[in-house]
């Protein structure tokens, strides 16, 4: 007899252009959760172009129960020079509050691990906010380890433009 787990009632699938409103819903929910809603300027038009246009920048896996969006994972291909292999960089993983505690986050990450193995990729990596103790515990429970010797840097906005102009 097969035991049915709560996460089994959910479907995971690759997103399509018709899913852009659901993707934006997840992105806005994540931005609110991370206390960064003021930085979220994503629009449906930009998502259509960057995810489903001529040169897609990322892939999205949607989780749903029936017609209801439950969460998503948005990722893109990275590359490790040390491994000489591509990998997956998980940009965002988010499960809507009503669907938490059912193993869906684990299923989304397991799907990415399966995708990496299926494609011959060497790793899956991501960043987590230092204050998000629940997420850190969850990731550690999966066997993920923090990269304590590394600091993430970002170049954006005016600094990005200024550096680009300096190179002309």
Tokens standing for 149? 């010797």
pTM metric for this prediction: 0.90
Residues 27, 39: contact at Cβ < 8 Å?
Answer: no
Task: Report the sign of the C-alpha dihedral through residues 105, 80, 157, 148, in that order.
Answer: positive
Q: What is the pLDDT of residues 53-108, one digit of tens each?
A: 999 999 999 999 999 999 999 999 999 999 999 999 999 999 999 999 999 999 99
Q: Which residues are catalytic?
A: 139
Q: What is the pLDDT of residues 107-165, one digit of tens each?
A: 999 999 999 999 999 999 999 999 999 999 999 999 999 999 999 999 999 999 999 98
**Distance from chain centroid for Cα 75:** 5
Following DSSP, what letter does each residue of the chain receive, concatenated? -PPPPGGGGSEEEE--GGGHHHHHHHHHHHHHHTT-GGG----HHHHHHHHHSSS---EEEEEEETTEEEEEEEEEEEEETTTTEEEEEEEEEEE-GGGTTSSHHHHHHHHHHHHHHHHT---EEE---TT-HHHHHHHHHTT----TT-------HHHHHHHHHHT-
């Amino acid at each position: 007899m097969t035991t049915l787990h709560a996460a089994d009632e959910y479907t995971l699938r690759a997103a399509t252009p018709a899913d852009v409103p659901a993707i934006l819903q997840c992105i806005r929910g994540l931005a609110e959760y991370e206390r960064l809603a003021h930085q979220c300027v994503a629009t449906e038009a930009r998502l259509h172009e960057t995810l489903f246009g001529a040169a897609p920048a990322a892939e999205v896996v949607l989780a749903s129960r029936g017609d209801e969006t439950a969460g998503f994972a948005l990722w893109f291909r990275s590359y490790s020079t040390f491994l000489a292999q591509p990998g997956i960089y998980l940009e965002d993983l988010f499960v809507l509050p009503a669907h938490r505690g059912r193993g869906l986050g684990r299923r989304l990450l397991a799907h990415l691990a399966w995708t990496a193995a299926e494609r011959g990729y060497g790793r899956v990596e991501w960043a987590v906010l230092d204050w998000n103790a629940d997420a850190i515990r969850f990731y550690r429970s999966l066997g993920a380890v923090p990269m304590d010797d590394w600091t993430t840097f970002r170049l954006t906005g005016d600094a990005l433009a200024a550096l680009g102009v300096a190179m002309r």
